[in-house]
Amino acid sequence: MKLKINITKETVKEYFFIAFGSAIMSLSIALLIDIFVVPGGASGLSMALYYVFDQAIPVGLLRWIINIPLFIWGLIMLGNQFGFRTFYAFTTGSFFLDLFRGSVPGLDFIKIQDAEFLIELAQSDFFFLILFAAVLMGVGLGVIFKFKGTTGGSDIPAAIFFKKFGIMPGKSIMFIDFFVISLAGFIFYLKGMPLDKSIITLVLYSLFLMFASAYIIDVIIDGFDYARMALIITDKSDEVAAEINNKLSRGATAIKSRGIYRNIDKEIIMTVVTMKEVAILNDIVKKVDPEAFMITNTIHEVSGFGFRRRI
């Protein structure tokens, strides 16, 4: 099976950001290894195996080895759904993970785990360190997904289970991640690792990490709530539209409609404003037509004049 790559300016940009996202995600994992808080998927499994092999094999290399058979399985079962972007993402991620941990030959002076502020956080503010790692992981994965990449790992069996058995990917990923986190906790217990906290506490922190990073992923992909779309039902549509244009310098669109209750044809005014302009819009509508009916909806993405575009 051939992996076909069409190289364009947009493709180069996407691969750059996939690598960037992989670096951020790998940094978050590098922060977690020595405090025994395990992410799900291949990253968590590689962390568990890292201690099974008495830290003799770098975590990034283990993560890459785990992903290879999963990647091949995905190609066989799903075709090119998990193509070169997946291979690229988990390969760069594995490299950056070992780079940050000082496991890359010639660059072993880079050891994020020896940073004084991280050691201090692990001792004095453990929760903040987990939260910081969760934000980094969510941002990294969100950037990867936003630019059409995937990190492999549990995504691949989840997609296969959906195709073969109709199991929703979200449920499969949750089950796999929970299994990996529990397995890692069991391994830490058997190996007698010098833990500052109980196994149950570390598992709970791992679950918190998983849910917090998932929220950040959604924020990166969908964006923060930064705009509102308003639908204004009024008998004075021309006056309302004129005021919106004059006082907010925003455009408005009139949509032909019919009121079912009174069976009257009228126009609905649709406009998009920033969050700080919502209060002004409310004042405009109330002043022009106190009986107007207005609906506002959260908008995550707006392209066009007057609004900045998200990357």
**Cα–Cα distance between 111 and 214 in angstroms, integer?**
27
- The DSSP bridge pattern shows strands 264-274 and 293-299 to be unpaired
Is the distance from CB of 182 to CB of 203 less than 8 angstroms?
yes
Burial degree of 234 (CB within 10 A; 0-12, 13-18, 19+): buried
- 1 confidence band (pLDDT: 50, 70, 90): very low
pLDDT digits (tens, 9 = 90+) for 173-218: 888 888 898 888 888 888 777 777 788 888 889 989 988 888 888 7
Lowest mean pLDDT among 187-201, 241-255, 280-294: 187-201
pLDDT digits (tens, 9 = 90+) for 154-177: 888 888 888 888 887 777 888 888
Of residues 153 and 18, more confidently modeled:
18
- pLDDT number for residue 198: 84
- 262 confidence band (pLDDT: 50, 70, 90): confident
pLDDT at 29 over 90: yes
Is the distance from CB of 137 to CB of 216 less than 8 angstroms?
yes
| Nearest of 226, 26, 231 to residue 133 by alpha carbon | 26
Letter for the amino acid at 253? T
Domain boundaries, the chain: 9-222, 227-299
| Topology of domain 227-299, CATH | Alpha-Beta Plaits (3.30.70)
**Cα–Cα distance between 33 and 141 in angstroms, integer?**
18
- pLDDT number for residue 219: 75
Is the distance from CB of 234 to CB of 286 less than 8 angstroms?
no
- Stated pTM of the model: 0.73
Helix (H) or strand (E) holding 299: strand 293-299
**Cα–Cα distance between 168 and 40 in angstroms, integer?**
17
Helix, strand, coil shares, percent, the chain, to 5: 65, 10, 25
Q: What is the mean pLDDT of the chain?
A: 85
pLDDT at 270 over 90: yes
Residues 6 or more apart from 15 whose CB is under 8 A from it?
85, 88, 147
Instruction: Give the DSSP per-residue string, 208-264.
Output: HHHHHHHHHHHHHHH----EEEEEEE-S-HHHHHHHIIIII----EEEEEEETTTTE
- pLDDT number for residue 49: 92
Token representation of residue 44: 């968590």
Of residues 26 and 118, more confidently modeled:
26
Q: Is the dihedral of CA 114, 117, 120, 126 positive or negative?
A: negative
List, edge to edge, every strand of the sheet that includes 253-259: 253-259, 264-274, 227-233, 293-299
- pLDDT number for residue 218: 75
pLDDT at 50 over 50: yes
Is the distance from CB of 38 to CB of 47 less than 8 angstroms?
yes
**Cα–Cα distance between 136 and 220 in angstroms, integer?**
11
Is the distance from CB of 96 to CB of 90 less than 8 angstroms?
no
Token representation of residue 204: 């709970």
Is the distance from CB of 127 to CB of 188 less than 8 angstroms?
no
pLDDT at 222 over 80: no
pLDDT digits (tens, 9 = 90+) for 84-121: 888 999 999 999 999 999 888 888 888 888 888 888 88
